[in-house]
Chains A and B, each alone.
Chain A
């Protein structure tokens, strides 16, 4: 194995870590966003939930931005193929993210249109939560690709059963994660409501996991035989069971840690099946985009690795520090 291959493999993992970091961190504020209209019964509830995510949601979203930038830098062909191929779907996500970014601040300061901004935040959180999973399902199942690496399908190619199942699985994971974070950060009736919703959505998450597993068997040949995939699945199942047990007790930290862990298990499953491919080609054409045929040069990957090696430890240190500053229940 030469240096270039090692770097390509490292970058496959690093982008996986960025995506996992994005789902663990932004996942809970996306989940709270979607559930806001149902979880918050009055203005104080809304302020409490906004304040729970206010100091951190933007930093959380940077994980997505950085994952996008890193994909661009490390595997430009995958970035180009997926983003131009999934044009309308991605634009929908972008419109959603635009509304989402402004709606907390606008809800607070544009009083006459509060219900509009509340729903803008909810729908702006819903679309990315669903569509990122759909996109993942597509690149895993395979999309029609030309021999010049271009997507040859249409918007409706993306809406196949397996990608939709993956999208709904991701969405339900995000919903449960939002509930466990909301329960962690709030008190009183709002806290109890968040916990109850968490318990109910937990069942939905479990059902979606089973459906996705069955569909993997149907649509992804060999997927149920991968040992790494089963290790990932074991992590998901164990974390879900432990999380569910602790949801019934007084501790709010364990369920949140467990839903966080379940995302890492989910990415483990996806990553172990997908490696070394980034975008699979449909129809047995063999025109897959892999880390080997889509990557940047050895020098660029090295420079990027240096940047990540210096930068990411710093990011982790001050992110953890910031979370510690805002730890504990929100008090208004």
Chain B
């Protein structure tokens, strides 16, 4: 088998599995921060109890993120050694900075959150909560900086076949960093708040722990409502950025086979690359031109303008991108319903809606993964857009057989860990906020 393809499969597997956890940590850290601010200002034991419960869950999620994140820090060297040689001058620094500025802080203060409630003052505990929130988001920023440089490289020059840094700020704050950071963070907040809403809805449906579940549901849904709607704005800005800086990626997202003025926005369909057409397509006329250029007659570049061997898979790009948008639209709908129910004072007793929230809990994880896949697969065949092809980025000394072996190992290990993670998560939720012990328990 082709070692490059195997390394891509392995990276997709390990990064994709890792990416289940950090967005949830981001959202949970926000929820916990707000709960702790309420506890600090009101001295309400109820909020302390709820927050402790959420810290317990975040501790578990964080550990999964740590376990799966280590692999990624080293995988550029193990599987992508040519990539490391070619762009290490730029790509390594944000990874090191993530460790120094963010991950140390997140780990040390999460230790205080879990083990130090009775050892530090109320004020210091709140500070620790804030620093965990701050550091987890800062960590996300550095990773997005590294990843965005692969999408829209800047601040570098090519010397002797290697990319060499010429301007750190241009490289870090390249054309897509900020919008991609906001889009990812908001995705994390949607994930964490819908998760929290799902858990509290389950308590309300079971008519247990309602004293804790009501304020938690209300809080989670306020943030969810805001973020699910704001995500449309950030998603739109991100799409405009992609259309302007990586036009072939946008053409693949929309399966726009030919350049045209007044381009339609595809809503649903099945792209057929061989026939260069989208089957069963429903599209809104002129909307793509309006969305990108605020002009119904603007010309949008189609796939025909690019070298066929420099295009991503239109089929996968289209489906992942539209899948993400479909789920995002569903979240916005849920957000609007939450708003209506709240104003009618029916939020806590609309059982159908509570059931939807419970069942929708896994969906933001899927939309995160789809968004990430569309961003990374849509960049192919480039590892670094128009600088380094993926095929030239892989390690040359690692035999395919060894990569296949490690893919199997990662699959088995991650499957096992995920099963145990879910089992433990369910047991924490079933035990409920009344019976939480932070730290390790023997009995």
Contact = CB atoms under 8 A, between A and B. Distances in A.
A159 interface: no
Given A65-B103, A106-B420, A300 B165 contact: yes
A55 B111 contact: yes
A297 B164 contact: yes
Contacts of B63: 58, 101-102, 104-105
Interface in B31-65: 59-60, 63-64
Between A46, A76, A105, A300, the greatest number of chain B beta carbons within 10 A of the residue's beta carbon is seen for A76
B398 A84 contact: yes
A54 B439 contact: yes
Given A83-B77, A151-B397, A58 B165 contact: no
B78 A83 contact: yes
Interface in B413-432: 413, 417, 420-421, 423-424, 427-428
Contact of A326 (B68, B115, B396, B417): B115
Tell me which of B79, B100, B115, B402 has the highest count of chain A C-beta atoms within 10 A of its own C-beta: B100
B261 to A, nearest CB: 44
B95 A59 contact: no
A307 interface: yes
A315 B99 CA distance: 10
B319 interface: no
A98 B110 contact: no
A110 B99 contact: no
Contact of A65 (B76, B93, B99): B99
Interface in A306-320: 307-308, 311-312, 314-315, 318-319
Contacts of B82: 80
Contact of A322 (B77, B111, B165): B111
Given A83-B81, A98-B413, A297-B89, A51 B397 contact: no
Interface residues of A, number: 72
Contacts of B85: 76-77, 80, 149
B440 interface: yes
Nearest to A148: B396
A307 B108 contact: no
Contacts of A43: 442-443
Given A106-B420, A300-B90, A84 B395 contact: yes
Interface in A271-313: 296-297, 299-300, 303-304, 307-308, 311-312
Contacts of B88: 72-73, 76-77, 79-80, 296
Contacts, number: 238
Interface string A212-254: 0000000000000000000000000000000000000000000
Given A54-B111, A299-B166, A85 B397 contact: yes
Most buried by A among B97, B112, B164, B427: B97
B280 interface: no
A69 B442 contact: no
B267 interface: no
A39 interface: no
Interface string A72-98: 111011011111110110110011011
B333 to A, nearest CB: 36
Nearest to B424: A109
Contacts of B104: 59, 62, 66, 311, 315, 318-319
Contact of A318 (B98, B105, B413): B105
B16 to A, nearest CB: 15
A150 B97 contact: no
Contacts of A311: 97, 100-101, 104
17 contacts: A47-B440, A59-B111, A72-B88, A72-B95, A80-B77, A80-B85, A83-B74, A87-B395, A91-B409, A94-B70, A94-B71, A98-B70, A101-B67, A113-B420, A151-B397, A297-B89, A325-B120
Interface of A: 43-44, 46-47, 50-51, 54-56, 58-59, 61-62, 64-66, 68-74, 76-77, 79-85, 87-88, 90-91, 94-95, 97-99, 101-102, 104-110, 113, 149-152, 296-297, 299-300, 303-304, 307-308, 311-312, 314-315, 318-319, 322, 325-326
